[in-house]
């Protein structure tokens, strides 16, 4: 599999691609995509890495694995392409964005713009079998994600990490600067009662300003 990435990711991928686990991960992906219906499109698995350079990351929002319905996943956590109905978790995220910052994003669930403005929307499991959440949990993604979070922490100490849900919170142990962690419940309808009214977007912008960074343009 040819992995395309923006300038600045070469060091990370050059190191990972030499490791046995990563070679096996790519083989596992090839096998799964040949034998099953998987999401996102194979060409979109690493698409996030083409949209933003490491030096431009301000916020990392950690998701679990891609949407597992047809045409939903597009390589960015929580995002869908234009013209696709917003999944419930994304609708709930937009509810909070509206309450926090008076920004209405409901017309489009495409979050490419967020990435280009410094938000790294990362699923720690980068692929999934249709209608089967966590189906690719054990094919190598966990090691890749651990190494990625550690790498980002080694090259940057000013990135804000947003951990929604217990799965994402597991990655807090790889984040060196605990003051830059924002934790909360997952935006899924099952836990929305705990997710809502936590002012996540206000907290993100507050920490950015505290770290002398420009706030994110969360508009479309």
Reported as a single tens digit per residue, the pLDDT across 144-170 is 999 999 999 999 999 999 999 999 999
Token representation of residue 123: 């699923």
Domains of the chain: residue spans and CATH? 10-210 (3.40.470.10)
Catalytic residue among 14, 30, 65, 112: 65
Active site residue 65: yes
pLDDT band at 220 (very low <50, low <70, confident <90, very high): low
Bridge-partner residues for 123, per DSSP? 63
Whether pLDDT at 69 is above 80:
yes
Q: Where are the extended beta strands (E) located within 48-200?
A: 59-63, 119-123, 128-129, 160-164, 181-184
Which residues contact residue 23 at a Cβ distance below 8 angstroms, ignoring those fewer than 6 apart? Answer: 17
Which residues contact residue 138 at a Cβ distance below 8 angstroms, ignoring those fewer than 6 apart? Answer: none
Calpha distance 22→140 (Å, rounded) = 7
Query: What predicted TM-score, i.e. pTM, was given to this entire model?
Result: 0.96
List, for residues 71-119, the tens digit of each pLDDT value. Answer: 999 999 999 999 999 999 999 999 999 999 999 999 999 999 999 999 9
pLDDT band at 11 (very low <50, low <70, confident <90, very high): very high
Q: Specify the 3-state DSSP secondary structure of 186.
A: coil
């Amino acid at each position: 599999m040819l992995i395309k990435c923006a300038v600045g990711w070469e060091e990370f991928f050059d190191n990972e691609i030499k490791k046995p686990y990563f070679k096996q991960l790519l083989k596992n992906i090839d096998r799964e995509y040949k034998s099953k219906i998987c999401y996102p499109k194979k060409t979109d698995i690493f698409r996030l890495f083409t949209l933003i350079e490491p030096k431009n990351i301000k916020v990392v929002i950690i998701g679990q694995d891609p949407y597992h319905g047809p045409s939903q996943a597009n390589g960015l956590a929580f995002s869908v392409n234009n013209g696709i109905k917003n999944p419930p978790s994304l609708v709930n995220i937009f509810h909070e964005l509206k309450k926090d910052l008076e920004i209405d994003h409901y017309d489009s669930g495409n979050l490419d713009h967020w990435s280009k403005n410094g938000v790294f929307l990362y699923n720690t499991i980068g692929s999934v079998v249709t209608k089967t959440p966590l189906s690719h949990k054990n094919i190598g993604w966990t090691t890749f994600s651990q190494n990625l979070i550690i790498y980002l922490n080694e090259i940057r100490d000013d990135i804000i990490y947003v951990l929604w849900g217990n799965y994402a919170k597991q990655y807090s142990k790889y984040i060196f600067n605990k003051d830059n962690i924002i934790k909360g419940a997952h935006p899924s309808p099952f836990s929305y009662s705990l997710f809502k009214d936590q002012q996540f977007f206000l907290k993100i912008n507050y920490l950015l300003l505290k770290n002398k960074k420009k706030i994110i343009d969360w508009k479309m």
